[in-house]
Amino acid sequence: MLQKIMNHPIWAMAFRPFYLLAAAYGVISILLWGFGYTGTSALPAQYWHAHEMIWGYSGAVVVAFLLTAVATWTGQPPVRGKFLMVLVGLWLLARLTIFFGTAINVSYIAGTLFYWLAAVGMGISVVKSQNSRNYIAVFALFIFGLTHAVFHAYLEPFHPIELHNGLLAGLVMVSGFIGLIGNRIIPFFTARRLNVEQVATPMWAMLAALVLPMMMATLLMFQAALWLAGVLGLVGGVLGLVQSVRWFHKGVLPESMLWILHAGYAAASLGLLVLGVAQFSGGYNQLASLGVHLIAVGGIGLLTIGMMTRTALGHTARPLYPAPKGLTLAFWLMVAATVLRSVSALLMTVNATAYVHSYRTAAVLFAASLLIFFWRYAPWLTQPRLDGKQG
């Protein structure tokens, strides 16, 4: 029986369980937040919401993508089987125990170990293959786990300002992963699909897309030189927007599998820029909220739904184009969620009723987008590849 479970296709590569779990949990957690869940005594209200969207939903997709992609990047066997089961178990334990205030330390330990063990899994492949260009990605995964650990350290005693910056550190780290992954795949996917020459990206720009947010996150995490964190966010955001303009081609517009990636990268870059500027305005105000949600809904929302759709097709040996039935609608729902949540950020101190209605509607749109993905992909991710190969 155990061997039969081990041999199930779901354990063949990390994208299979984590894409499904992330989509399902994204639906549940965003609707809970949108319709009044107030967290626990240990992790109340918006702290719970931000924590779970950063280290719960987003983290699952980041780990899934990196542990899947590293097998291609290095030619090494993917993380699968028992190792993958342990990672899934840690992630689930962290998600379940977060709902019980008395078990917050269990979530703390399990959630941190999840990222550090994922870094080990990726690191083994990178070191064995001497794939030096990906050492930084392994280090970034470790830092992402560290942001989770440091955030929890600020919970006892409860430090609101430090906790706020700790959440921003985790969010900014996700924007760094967006920078790393986006620079590698967006111009490549665009060139392949449109049959045009790939726009070359200098190595310094590719590294800066991850290193600048990682440095900003480190400063936020340790409450140090917040003005410099703002400068790093500003520079990183401008660099990302320049890349977005460089990569754009008019042929992207009719291709939903491409424009979703371009739009997500641009939104994350703009959000990083706005969040950088907000570091000079003091406190969590409308500008900071706008930056946060441009990254969280625009960057993370658009890019995760786009990347999960695209990469899962490739790794299950299905045609990459056009988008599967229903997924273009899912993309547009996420775009609508991005626009509405950005507007609601600006309404935060202007009209309380409009603010509540707009962020609740955005939550429903976000959930609906992920639900379409889950409904369409669950059968594919739990079945063997069409070509009979492993993966």
pLDDT score at 286: 85
Range of the domain at 160: 2-381
Phi, psi of 66 (to 5 degrees): -65, -40
pLDDT score at 1: 61
Q: What CATH number is given to the structural domain containing 301?
A: 1.20.210.10
Tell me the β-bridge partners of 44: 39
The answer to whether the CB of 387 falls within 8 A of the CB of 322 is: no
Instruction: Identify which of 35, 53, 44 has the alpha carbon closest to the alpha carbon of residue 357.
Output: 35
Q: What are the pLDDT tens digits along the chain (391 aa)?
A: 666 666 788 998 999 999 999 999 999 999 999 998 999 988 998 999 999 999 999 999 999 999 999 999 998 999 999 999 999 999 999 999 999 988 899 999 999 999 999 999 999 999 999 988 899 999 999 999 999 999 999 998 888 888 999 999 999 999 999 999 999 999 999 999 999 999 999 999 999 999 999 999 999 999 888 999 999 999 999 999 999 999 999 999 999 999 999 999 999 999 999 999 999 887 678 899 999 999 999 999 999 999 999 999 998 989 988 999 999 999 999 999 999 999 998 887 778 888 888 989 999 999 999 999 999 999 999 999 888 777 6
Phi, psi of 129 (to 5 degrees): -90, -5
Instruction: Identify which of 166, 178, 47, 64 has the alpha carbon closest to the alpha carbon of residue 122.
Output: 64
Compute the Cα dihedral for 86, 88, 92, 95 and give only its sign. Answer: positive
Region for 195 from its dihedrals, namely left if φ exceeds 0, alpha if ψ lies in -120 to 50, beta otherwise: left
Instruction: Identify which of 209, 224, 88 has the alpha carbon closest to the alpha carbon of residue 166.
Output: 224
Q: Is 390 inside any structural domain?
A: no
The token duo for 211 is 């290193």
Q: Is 391 inside any structural domain?
A: no
Q: Is 140 inside any structural domain?
A: yes
Q: Is 387 inside any structural domain?
A: no
> Helices 352-381 and 327-347 meet at what angle, rounded to 10?
160
pLDDT score at 3: 65
Q: Is 28 inside any structural domain?
A: yes
Phi, psi of 39 (to 5 degrees): 75, -155
C-alpha–C-alpha distance, residues 383 and 178, integer Å: 29
Overall domain count for the chain: 1
Q: Is 386 inside any structural domain?
A: no
C-alpha–C-alpha distance, residues 88 and 59, integer Å: 12
* DSSP state letter for 36: T
Q: Is 173 inside any structural domain?
A: yes
Q: Is 388 inside any structural domain?
A: no
Instruction: Identify which of 266, 282, 279, 285 has the alpha carbon closest to the alpha carbon of residue 349.
Output: 285
